[in-house]
Amino acid sequence: IAEPRWPLILLRTPKGMTGPQSYRGEPVEGSYRAHQVPIPDAKTNPESLRIVEDWLRSYRPDELFDGQGRPMPDILACCPTGDRRMGSNPHTFGGRIRRPLDRPDIFAYEVALASPENGLERGVSSVSSLEHVALYLRDVVARNRHQFRIMSPDELESNKLGAVFEVTQRDYQWPVAPHFSSHIGSDDGRVLEILSEHTCQAWLQGYLLTGRHGLFPSYEAFLTIVTSMMDQFAKFLKMSQQFSWRLPVSSLTYLETSTLWRQEHNGFSHQNPGFINSVLNLKPQFTRIYLPPDANTMVSTLDHCLRGTNYVNLVIANKPKLPQWLTMSEAIAHARAGASIWPWASTDDGVNPDVVLVGIGDTLTEEVMAAAEMLLHEFPELRVRVVNVTDLLVLQRESEHPHGLDDEMFAALFTPDKPVIVNFHGYPSAAKQLLFGRRHPQRFYIHGYQEEGTTTTPFDMHVVNATDRFHLVMQAIRLAAPVNPAVAARASERIHHYEYVLADFRRYIEEHGEDPPEIANWRWTGKP
């Protein structure tokens, strides 16, 4: 490994050096007065105008320009020609030289739901979306050694993407001990790892602008600190659309993980899904937010994101092993639609549910599925429809976002008028603003992160934010009771029962520091 010796020059200069030295008796150079407009009244005060003129003449423009104001030939002779001109460097016009990413066939990464004995078994395989998509990323790296990089503020391995190191390594610029090179696939490391989200953001922006491709995996709570940089990049995308010579560049894709919902090791300080809200404030034509519910949907989604140009993509998933719901073909269709009814988990026979349960986000979907299962088994008279949303922007009206569902499709999924319980990964504010323009938005009951939580178990994080299966079940019963007499007949008894179960579970968690086995080992068993 080469050991670079970067040159470093430190030059400390007074602010406003070589500018006008003083104004109205006060020194300018080297003071805060050198900021903004140091000589503010030059337009109206001849004495001030003289200060500005003297200053400008100190550059001796007569030696630099001819009588017509053109630069002198000897000045022009200093300029490089062609692509060597600063404004014509091909690498500043990445869109012109961009080649599509060489992507493998995603069916090679399908998590199989079928077993030879039982056929299709949903909710059984326990797979980490991150660990799994790492296999896909590994092969993307191997196929694109000169045009794909991962900028990583955390240990890639901590974010479960370590499989990438089967074919590449970290790109070290600092002299390192020999034992660092344990992940040698080539000496051209495609992973840039540095504990600075700001640096990763800047690196990736620059890399994309040169026509290449990349990915930015990060802890959810820490992306907040690059909100302003992300906004500036989106502003650049918007402005660049106005110039025909600015061809599209690859999208900036965030893989947001290590989310607030798993806090066994961290805690309250690591809980902030606000990056979603920040992305939602960008121009809609540049923003995409995906929350794939399982590993197949994750592979399909990331493959889609790495294909696109001129988007800011935010893909959100947790690291732990979770149940799997869709085959790869179903996942592709689900991701294309953005949201689907899961009929195999619904008891409304496709029409007229008492209540709609919606999962947005992987662990939030797991709680929705557990709630649906409880209702299927313990409350068969309650007609429930299960919907999953993987593309957050389908919630918005089609007039406000290109992915927004039109009114007919929205009603087809969520019914025109039935109560809808939404279990959402982020702050409820994000779902509320998206649903604001929909008809009868009050029928949507948004569960999400309410700034509650500490260092605790996964299930407890849900309970304290009312996003757990029991809160969902109890609310479904409350909402269905007024319209379904069979539900009403058992509502009070059942709700009190679930309150007691929940209280027992919380006592168990406090005592043992881990989730009760019924929760930790829960598996979807399907309809009765």
Q: Is 484 helix (H, G, I), strand (E, B) or coil?
A: coil
Nearer to a second copy, 196 or 228 (CB): 228
Among 29-37, 111-119, 328-336, 362-370, the segment contacting a second copy (CB under 8 A): 29-37
Residue 238 is a binding residue for a second copy (CB under 8 A): yes
Residue 241 is a binding residue for a second copy (CB under 8 A): no
Nearer to a second copy, 158 or 309 (CB): 158
Angle between helices 295-307 and 328-337 (to 10 degrees): 60
Residue 377 is a binding residue for a second copy (CB under 8 A): no
Residue 17 is a binding residue for a second copy (CB under 8 A): no
Nearer to a second copy, 97 or 176 (CB): 176
Residue 399 is a binding residue for a second copy (CB under 8 A): no
Residue 161 is a binding residue for a second copy (CB under 8 A): no
Nearer to a second copy, 56 or 239 (CB): 239
Residue 40 is a binding residue for a second copy (CB under 8 A): no
Q: How far apart are CA 469 and CA 373, in angstroms?
A: 9
Determine which residue in the list 55, 222, 498, 524 makes contact with a second copy, applying CB under 8 A: 222
Distance of CA 60 to the CA centre of its chain: 53
Among 26-34, 72-80, 136-144, 334-342, the segment contacting a second copy (CB under 8 A): 26-34
Determine which residue in the list 228, 329, 352, 525 makes contact with a second copy, applying CB under 8 A: 228
Residue 48 CB, shortest distance to a second copy, in Å, is 18
Residue 206 is a binding residue for a second copy (CB under 8 A): no
Q: Is 366 helix (H, G, I), strand (E, B) or coil?
A: helix
Interface with a second copy in residues 69-88 (CB under 8 A): none
Residue 106 is a binding residue for a second copy (CB under 8 A): no
Among 47-55, 233-241, 315-323, 363-371, the segment contacting a second copy (CB under 8 A): 233-241
Residue 172 is a binding residue for a second copy (CB under 8 A): no
Query: Which residues neighbour 228 within 8 Å (Cβ) at sequence distance 6 or greater?
Result: none
Lookup: tokens for 52? 């500005």
Nearest Cα to Cα of residue 324 among 160, 192, 131: 131
Query: Which residues neighbour 437 within 8 Å (Cβ) at sequence distance 6 or greater?
Result: 396, 397, 399, 400
Q: How far apart are CA 456 and CA 450, in angstroms?
A: 15
DSSP 180-196: GGGG-S-SS--EEE-S-
Phi, psi of 316 (to 5 degrees): -120, 130
CB atoms within 10 A of CB 145: 14
Number of residues that bind a second copy (CB under 8 A): 50
Nearer to a second copy, 124 or 411 (CB): 411
Residue 397 is a binding residue for a second copy (CB under 8 A): no
Residue 512 is a binding residue for a second copy (CB under 8 A): no
CB atoms within 10 A of CB 126: 11
Q: How far apart are CA 369 and CA 356, in angstroms?
A: 12
Q: How far apart are CA 363 and CA 465, in angstroms?
A: 13
Residue 273 CB, shortest distance to a second copy, in Å, is 9
Q: How far apart are CA 213 and CA 253, in angstroms?
A: 9
Nearer to a second copy, 76 or 174 (CB): 174
Determine which residue in the list 433, 464, 495, 502 makes contact with a second copy, applying CB under 8 A: 433
Nearest Cα to Cα of residue 515 among 465, 459, 463: 459
Among 59-67, 201-209, 368-376, 425-433, the segment contacting a second copy (CB under 8 A): 425-433
Determine which residue in the list 261, 342, 410, 427 makes contact with a second copy, applying CB under 8 A: 427
Angle between helices 469-480 and 485-512 (to 10 degrees): 160
Determine which residue in the list 88, 92, 232, 329 makes contact with a second copy, applying CB under 8 A: 232
String marking each residue 268-307 x if it binds a second copy according to CB under 8 A: xx--x-x--xx-xxxx------------------------
Residue 169 is a binding residue for a second copy (CB under 8 A): no
Query: Which residues neighbour 35 within 8 Å (Cβ) at sequence distance 6 or greater?
Result: 15, 16
Residue 50 CB, shortest distance to a second copy, in Å, is 22
Nearer to a second copy, 417 or 504 (CB): 417
Torsion of CA 488, 344, 304, 124, to 10 degrees: 100
Query: Which residues neighbour 370 within 8 Å (Cβ) at sequence distance 6 or greater?
Result: 469, 522, 524
**Contact present, 307 and 140 (Cβ < 8 Å):** no
Nearer to a second copy, 248 or 428 (CB): 428
Distance of CA 256 to the CA centre of its chain: 5
Nearer to a second copy, 138 or 443 (CB): 443
Q: How far apart are CA 132 and CA 296, in angstroms?
A: 9
Interface with a second copy in residues 437-476 (CB under 8 A): 437, 439, 441-442, 451
Query: Which residues neighbour 104 within 8 Å (Cβ) at sequence distance 6 or greater?
Result: 136, 139, 140, 143
Q: Which residues bind a second copy (CB under 8 A)?
A: 26-27, 30-32, 35-36, 155, 157-158, 177, 179-180, 182, 193, 221-222, 224-225, 227-228, 231-232, 235, 238-239, 265, 268-269, 272, 274, 277-278, 280-283, 427-430, 432-433, 435-437, 439, 441-442, 451
